[in-house]
């Protein structure tokens, strides 16, 4: 694509010849998307430009899961959510188009996350009993279904916005030990705020599920399209219901301390092609800088 100044010069000197191209250029700019920040590490996001000239995006998959594809000026870009337990090394995505299938390779770099030790007074939240385990198994299926949806959209409302005002108490990716016992790494951002503080949808979308879960407590899931789902956990109250459309910044509940917690806070998770990724990569630069403190 020509630099902006070069294009304008050509347009002025040869108006008739360049009129159609000018309209195409302006249309492309209007439909260009705001892409997440690229960080090709476990729990990160990879951005892969595609060799695809059609006006509609192609179907692209990673590990059998469909990927978000967004328009970035004059090209289509696959947005890949990388699992927190992904192995460093070469990974592949596939553009599916019959005999013209394409394979793209990208490298996941190693990243070491910090360790966090937490003491939980309710020992069942660390070592559940048999009835708890049955409940957890049922809830795991419900949570997976909420994160597994695909809503076909021409664009995705990005960037996301912080859903609550508060202090970042636990960043993404921490290797966690509960009562000195190793558990799954932290798959979201924890934002500490007083109980009852309003929680807002990080962008416009559709509420696909709500529930009260053993570990996550009261939770809301919002689908923003093309495999991007945000989840809001440990709520004190929920003010929306499944099937409801919400706008950016609309209240969906309040901060609480339900589920496995040590104090009132919001656990905010971001799922991209069913992988929980670092939410800060989808925030505006100024908010991401604050979260990195």
For 229, residues 6+ apart whose C-beta sits below 8 A from its C-beta are: 146, 147, 149, 208, 221, 222, 223, 270, 271
Which helix (DSSP H) or strand (DSSP E) does residue 6 occupy?
A: helix 4-13
According to the model, what pLDDT value does residue 286 have? 74
Pairing of strands 175-178, 115-118: parallel
Q: What is the pLDDT of residues 4-22, one digit of tens each?
A: 333 233 333 333 333 333 3
* Residue 238, token pair as written in the block: 């929920």
Distance CA 78, CA 98 (A): 18
Pairing of strands 59-62, 89-96: antiparallel
Would the pLDDT of 132 be above 90? Answer: yes
According to the model, what pLDDT value does residue 7 have? 29
According to the model, what pLDDT value does residue 15 have? 34
Would the pLDDT of 2 be above 80? Answer: no
Task: Evaluate the omega torsion of the peptide bond into residue 229 and state whether it is cis, within 30 degrees of 0.
Answer: no
According to the model, what pLDDT value does residue 291 have? 54
Distance CA 230, CA 244 (A): 15
According to the model, what pLDDT value does residue 176 have? 86
Which helix (DSSP H) or strand (DSSP E) does residue 285 occupy?
A: helix 285-291
- Choose the weakest-confidence range: 24-28, 184-188, 205-209, 224-228: 24-28
According to the model, what pLDDT value does residue 32 have? 57
According to the model, what pLDDT value does residue 8 have? 32
Q: What is the pLDDT of residues 36-93, one digit of tens each?
A: 999 999 999 999 999 999 999 999 999 999 999 999 988 999 999 999 999 999 999 9
Q: What is the pLDDT of residues 78-131, one digit of tens each?
A: 999 999 999 999 999 999 987 789 999 999 999 999 998 989 888 989 999 999
According to the model, what pLDDT value does residue 10 have? 30
Top mean-pLDDT range of 5-14, 21-30, 143-152:
143-152
Q: What is the pLDDT of residues 222-270, one digit of tens each?
A: 999 999 999 999 999 999 999 999 999 999 999 999 999 999 999 999 9
Question: Backbone phi, then psi, for 149, in 5-degree steps?
Answer: -75, 160
Helix 15-31 vs helix 4-13: angle between axes, to the nearest 10 degrees? 150
Domains (range + CATH), the chain: 32-108 (2.60.40.1590), 115-291 (2.70.70.10)
Region 163-182: mean pLDDT is: 92
According to the model, what pLDDT value does residue 29 have? 40
According to the model, what pLDDT value does residue 93 have? 98
């Amino acid at each position: 694509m020509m630099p902006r100044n070069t294009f304008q010069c050509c347009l002025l000197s040869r108006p008739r010849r360049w009129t159609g191209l000018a309209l195409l250029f302006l249309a492309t700019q209007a439909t260009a998307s705001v892409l997440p920040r690229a960080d090709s590490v476990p729990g990160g996001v990879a951005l892969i430009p595609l060799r695809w000239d059609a006006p509609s995006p192609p179907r692209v998959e990673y590990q059998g899961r469909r990927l978000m594809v967004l328009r970035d000026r004059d090209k289509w870009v696959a947005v890949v959510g990388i699992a927190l337990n992904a192995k460093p090394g070469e990974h592949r995505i596939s553009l599916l188009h019959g005999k013209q299938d394409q394979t793209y390779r990208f490298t996941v770099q190693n990243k070491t996350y910090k360790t966090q030790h937490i003491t939980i007074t309710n020992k069942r939240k660390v070592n559940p009993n048999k009835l708890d385990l049955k409940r957890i198994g049922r809830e795991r299926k419900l949570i997976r279904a909420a994160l597994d949806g695909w809503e076909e959209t021409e664009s995705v409302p990005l960037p996301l916005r912080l859903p609550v005002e508060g202090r970042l108490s636990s960043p993404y990716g921490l290797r966690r030990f509960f009562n000195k016992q190793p558990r799954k790494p932290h798959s979201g951002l924890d934002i500490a705020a007083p109980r009852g503080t309003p929680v807002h949808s990080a962008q416009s979308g559709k509420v696909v599920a709500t529930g009260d879960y053993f570990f996550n407590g009261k939770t809301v899931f919002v689908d923003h399209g093309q495999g991007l789902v945000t989840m809001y956990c440990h709520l004190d109250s929920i003010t929306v219901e499944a099937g409801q459309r919400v706008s950016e910044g609309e209240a969906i509940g309040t901060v609480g301390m339900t589920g496995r917690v040590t104090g009132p806070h919001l656990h905010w998770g971001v799922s991209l092609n069913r992988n929980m990724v670092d939410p800060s990569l989808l925030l505006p630069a100024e908010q991401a800088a604050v979260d990195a403190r």
